Amino acid sequence: MLKPNHNSCPRSPAPFEQVELPTLLLEAIDYLRLFHQEQSLPEAQLQKRLAEIHQDYRHSRTYWQTKEEIAYGAKVAWRNHSRCIGRIFWESLIVRDLRHLTTAEDIFAAIVEHMQQATNGGNIRSTISVFAPDLPGQPGIRIWNPQLIRYAGYRQADGAIVGDPDQVELTEICQQFGWQGQGTRFDVLPLIIQMPGQKPQWFELPPNIVMEVPMTHPEYDWFAELGLKWHALPAISDWRLEIGGISYSAAPFNGWYMSTEIGARNFGDVKRYNLLPVVAERMGLNTRSKLSLWQDRALIELNRAVLHSFTLAGVTIVDHHTASAQFMQHWQREAEAERIVPADWGRIVPPLSASTMEVFHQEMQDVCLKPNFFHLSPLWITEKDVTANAQAVLPNDQQKRCPFHSHSDDR
């Protein structure tokens, strides 16, 4: 019988534990036991480390994790995250311990370095950068962007959107902060970084840092005329990493794309770039009848174009059939290790040709195990609120000027 590999969320202490201990210490004990067990470390070392953590907690109501504890905890967090289909590679995650950085400028420079190293000329390497942890009763470091690379969405007077409709709100906030894009469909948004107790600052990503792939098709020459492209690196930046009761609210991480994330969702979704009607028309399909399956046929060709383009450019990508097979291989490996695989069926099953893959027929259990990643809500509520907050921090004679700092050097 498979068993959870460690504590679930929310945590319920086992009967033999001292239930009067604070939650943070209980979480720390659970993780340290897991860490020492899976790393085959001696029991004496575990007991010594637990004593150190108790002493740290008495003085500061928190504790400082070692580099090794963070490195393994981040990998296990990936292993536990129920929404990711690519977890077979969890042990290969590159973990960058950047807890010593204390300014938004230094964090931005580290993010640029992360992007360079992770993009790796197209040979994408799964990487996470862990910045300073949250302190008790205080907000942590926040990166406002949902991903390190996102394309702007510009709302037009007639209600139409130029660019990515999913990023309209963030785009308008960036504009309130003083950023102005070119108004194209693929303008890379700046990064907004907020240090604890400070105003957010925005930073322009150097163009040479963002690798982009122009879209072509293996058969349709006209496809290049659509002027489509997508960035090579998918890097999530609005999730909180939690390890042993310690939260890291700024811990951007990346893998590489599965083709359907771009072709079926970013390009295909009605509420995103909505390209199915455009592609179907160029293919000469009958879009007036559902019986022609024009959406399905256009969706296939969009995904073929993505796979073809990334492969031609030498950029790492995986098709949905291969990713699904790898997930089932991961499932088997975890079963052999007597661990369950938390999985959100709706997130794991690809949005294209689902029933042709084994994951479609696999029963899954969406349980929460720790360490793990947890989504953070946006720091803004409405554009009006953000603007008011920005104005409030300035003297009256400066309220017409942007209080944020743009950086665009090519480090």
Supply the pLDDT for residue 379. Answer: 87
Supply the pLDDT for residue 20. Answer: 64
Residue 17 clears pLDDT 50, i.e. is over it: no
Supply the pLDDT for residue 206. Answer: 95
Could you tell me which residues come within 8 angstroms of residue 85 by beta carbon, excluding any fewer than 6 positions away? 258, 323, 324, 326, 327, 347, 348, 350, 359
Q: What percent of the chain has pLDDT over 90?
A: 86
Tell whether omega for the bond before 371 is within 30 degrees of 0, i.e. cis: yes
- Lowest-pLDDT choice from 3-7, 140-144, 213-217, 281-285: 3-7
Residue 297 clears pLDDT 50, i.e. is over it: yes
Residue 235's pLDDT band (boundaries 50, 70, 90)?
A: very high
Q: What's the token pair of residue 295? A: 């959406």
Average pLDDT for residues 365-384, to the nearest whole number? 85
Residue 127, beta-bridge partner list: 94, 254
H helix runs in 274-366, sequence order: 276-283, 294-313, 320-336, 345-348, 358-361
Classify burial at 368, counting beta carbons within 10 Å of its beta carbon; exposed 0-12, middle 13-18, buried 19 or more.
middle
State how far the Cα of 56 lies from the Cα of 35, in Å rounded to an integer.
Answer: 19
Average pLDDT for residues 197-205, to the nearest whole number? 96
What crossing angle do the helices spanning 43-60 and 23-38 adopt, rounded to 10°? 160
Helix (H) or strand (E) holding 24: helix 23-38
- Lowest-pLDDT choice from 5-19, 35-49, 287-301: 5-19
244: closest CA among 15, 20, 29?
29
Average pLDDT for residues 183-203, to the nearest whole number? 97
State how far the Cα of 260 lies from the Cα of 299, in Å rounded to an integer.
Answer: 9
State how far the Cα of 90 lies from the Cα of 255, in Å rounded to an integer.
Answer: 10
Residue 10 clears pLDDT 60, i.e. is over it: no
Average pLDDT for residues 7-33, to the nearest whole number? 70
273: closest CA among 227, 317, 315?
227
Residue 257, beta-bridge partner list: 317
Determine if residue 87 is left, alpha or beta; phi over 0 gives left, psi from -120 to 50 gives alpha, anything else beta: alpha
User: Any idea which residues carry the catalytic annotation?
Assistant: 84, 87, 256, 261
Residue 166 clears pLDDT 80, i.e. is over it: yes
- For 203, phi then psi, to 5°, come to -135, 130
Could you tell me which residues come within 8 angstroms of residue 288 by beta carbon, excluding any fewer than 6 positions away? none
Supply the pLDDT for residue 392. Answer: 40
Average pLDDT for residues 393-404, to the nearest whole number? 32
Strands 94-97 and 127-130: parallel
Residue 249 clears pLDDT 50, i.e. is over it: yes
Residue 407's pLDDT band (boundaries 50, 70, 90)?
A: very low
Average pLDDT for residues 185-210, to the nearest whole number? 97
Residue 385's pLDDT band (boundaries 50, 70, 90)?
A: low
Average pLDDT for residues 372-387, to the nearest whole number? 73
> What would the 3-class secondary structure string for 163-216 be?
ECHHHHHHHHHHHHCCCCCCCCCCCECCEEEECCCCCCEEECCCHHHCCEEECC
Helix (H) or strand (E) holding 109: helix 104-119
Residue 251 clears pLDDT 60, i.e. is over it: yes
Domain boundaries, the chain: 65-363+371-395
Residue 81, beta-bridge partner list: none
Q: What's the token pair of residue 88? A: 């077979």
- Torsion sign across C-alpha atoms 227, 231, 234, 240: negative
- For 322, phi then psi, to 5°, come to -65, -45
Q: Which pTM does this prediction carry?
A: 0.88
Average pLDDT for residues 228-243, to the nearest whole number? 98
- For 217, phi then psi, to 5°, come to -125, 145
Q: pLDDT per residue over 277-296, tens digit each?
A: 999 999 999 999 999 999 99
Residue 397 clears pLDDT 60, i.e. is over it: no
Q: What's the token pair of residue 360? A: 């479609």
103: closest CA among 236, 199, 204?
199
- 3-class secondary structure, 70: helix
Supply the pLDDT for residue 380. Answer: 80
